[in-house]
Amino acid sequence: NAGVMQNPRHLVRRRGQEARLRCSPMKGHSHVYWYRQLPEEGLKFMVYLQKENIIDESGMPKERFSAEFPKEGPSILRIQQVVRGDSAAYFCASSLRTDSYGYTFGSGTRLTVV
């Protein structure tokens, strides 16, 4: 069991470019959560998805950010027209069920916007 896989581990983008972060949940897990960790800040919830559905996107910025979890393939967090303030570590977690609370986190993608 490879756990939650995130790639890339490190991503450098120039201002205005797009960033795509990928998350493959643990085998059998159909619930995916994205969190952002800014320097000196705690982990902040962004979005919760199940296969092909967005369940809760209350933590997502209104513009430039989107997420999907297609029927096949990994979950994608997409940031369009990145700005320096988007530089952070982005973590994905997966769980088996909504009530299982067995959240397993990936190692994260560290996005640097230059």
- Are 26 and 106 spatial neighbours (Cβ–Cβ below 8 Å)? no
Kindly state whether residue 69 participates in binding another protein, applying the rule CB under 8 A: no
Tokens coding 109: 């993608």
Element (H, E) at 44: strand 43-50
State in angstroms the smallest separation of the CB of 16 from another protein.
Answer: 27
Q: How many Cβ atoms are within 10 Å of 64's Cβ, its own excluded? A: 15
| Residues numbered 76-95 forming contacts with another protein, rule: CB under 8 A | 91, 93, 95
Kindly state whether residue 59 participates in binding another protein, applying the rule CB under 8 A: yes
State in angstroms the smallest separation of the CB of 25 from another protein.
Answer: 13
Phi first, then psi: what are they for 8, rounded to 5°? -75, 170
Question: Which of 30, 87, 107, 112 lies at the binding interface for another protein (CB under 8 A)?
Answer: 107
Number of residues that bind another protein (CB under 8 A): 27
How far apart are the C-alpha atoms of 114 and 111, rounded to whole Å?
Answer: 10
Question: Which of 29, 60, 82, 106 lies at the binding interface for another protein (CB under 8 A)?
Answer: 106
How far apart are the C-alpha atoms of 13 and 77, rounded to whole Å?
Answer: 15
Name the site residues for another protein (rule: CB under 8 A): 4, 6, 31, 33, 35, 40-45, 48, 55-56, 59, 91, 93, 95, 98, 101-108
